[in-house]
Structure 1
Amino acid sequence: MSEFVMVAGAWLGAWAWDEVVPGLRAAGHGVHPLTLTGLAEKKGLAAGQQTHVQDIVDEVERLGLREVVLVGHSYSGIPVGQAAERLGDRLRRVVFVDSSVPADGESFASGWWEGREKLETPIRENGGFWAPLTAADCAGQDMTAEQTARIVGGATPHPGATLTEPAVLTRPLGGLPATYIKCLLDGTEPGADVVELLKSEHWRLVTMDTGHWPMFSRPAELAGILHRTAVGG
């Protein structure tokens, strides 16, 4: 079985996977949710983009993991994609959950759908942090009021440097064994960069009829998809 290292998106920590973990462990996998520097219980610690990449690599090496499935959700697809290529033969697969993907020399902000300045300006105005998730951000994303309250209540300000510093890749991302999970309520098609990557023989696409935070809205379904991804590629 596989060793899952799971990283949630902006504002969130390891706790975001709490309802996904039991299903994977019941299937026999090792599961290691990870909080990135500056978030949740690590709030207040300085972090840049490469800090988050190193967080992931260090966790795999600290635990001596092999047959690793790296899971990155939303923003965290960027550090997860970079970490994946640094794990060598420890990596079994990388799974991007409705996420951004890294491009060498580009940042999360440079791919922001409204344009870079629309993200970088409020970060500057908020002391270098991306303000936490709100209930309005969760509207129409297949979450109950209780699920929305949980995600909003646990959200912490996100270190802005992790969003504005560029990714560093040493080889094409399409060469990695990867699965992209597209959550259809957050847009019916992946972005153009992901569409291009899905042309690779190493990449697979899976869809979920839910919103951008499936670990809250459909945790059992997500756990099942992750299990099948690990055992079947």
Structure 2
Amino acid sequence: MVNFVLVAGAWLGAWAWDEVVPELRAGGHTAHPLTLSGLADKQGTAAGQQTHVQDILDEVERLDLRDVVLVGHSYSGIPVGQAADRLGERLTRVVFVDSNVPADRESFVSAWPDGRDMVEASIAENGGFWAPLAAADYEGQGLTEEQIGRIVAGSTPHPGATLTEPAVLTRPLGELPAVYVKCLLDGDEPNEDVVELLTAERWRLVEMDTGHWPMFSQPRELARVLLEAAAR
């Protein structure tokens, strides 16, 4: 049995994993979806990037979890990767779901040069928060209208400081036991930094024929990928 800790990407909370959690628990494991500070039911809480890293570490400590599989989707790959770096023997594996990965002293926006101006402008215009996407932004990602409606209705503004503050790593990310899940409707190839990490002995690539939000578009298939990652 392993203990999954599930962290969704920007604008989302623990609720994003509602259709994945039962599949993991049916496989005989525990699953703990986590809402990061400043999002969903934790709106109003001040948050920087290290706040989000600490949210994850605190959840593992609070529940006294061992044999942990940390799962980070999209933006959350950045705090999840840093938390995995600090979990030591508690960590079994980290799974990055179509996500960013942390680089020491680099931020979310510095790793996304094409979108940096757009993100920073949104933060400046929305009181320090990155505004959620509109329904049209989810087209072409394998989602039904109902699924898009759920995402849009549940999304909350994302704390801007978590996107502009730098990551802090204590060792090379390639030393972690990791699986990277590439969602092919969001691009055929991982980013260059992920491609380099996939040359590491302990990293492995898995592809899914769906879009950037597989916990909504293909929750059972994503759960199967996570269960296989935990078993290796």
| Bin for the TM-score computed over the shorter chain | over 0.9
Counterpart Cα distance in 1 of 2:116 and 2:142: 28
What is aligned with 1:222? 222
Q: What amino acid maps onto 2:46 in structure 1?
A: A
**Bigger Cα displacement from structure 2, 116-125 vs 137-146:** 116-125
Counterpart Cα distance in 2 of 1:231 and 1:113: 36
The answer to whether residue 148 in structure 2 is matched with residue 130 in structure 1 is no
Counterpart Cα distance in 2 of 1:115 and 1:229: 31
Counterpart Cα distance in 2 of 1:213 and 1:133: 13
Give the length in aligned residue pairs.
Answer: 232
Q: What is the CA RMSD across the aligned residues, in angstroms?
A: 0.7
Equivalences for residues 24-103 of structure 1 within 5 A: 24-103=24-103
How far is 1:44 from its partner?
1.1
TM-score calculated relative to the size of structure 2 = 0.99
Equivalences for residues 58-207 of structure 1 within 5 A: 58-207=58-207
SS at match of 1:211: coil
SS at match of 2:46: coil
Q: Is the 8 A contact 1:112 1:119 kept in 2?
A: no
Counterpart Cα distance in 2 of 1:117 and 1:24: 38
The answer to whether residue 4 in structure 2 is matched with residue 4 in structure 1 is yes
How far is 1:120 from its partner?
1.1
Work out the percentage of aligned pairs sharing the same amino acid. 75
Deviating runs (4+, > 2 A) in structure 1? 115-118
Structure 2: give runs of 5+ residues left out of the alignment: none
Counterpart Cα distance in 2 of 1:28 and 1:120: 43
TM-score calculated relative to the size of structure 1 = 0.98
How far is 1:225 from its partner?
0.6
Q: What amino acid maps onto 2:170 in structure 1?
A: T
How far is 1:133 from its partner?
2.1
Q: What amino acid maps onto 1:152 in structure 2?
A: V
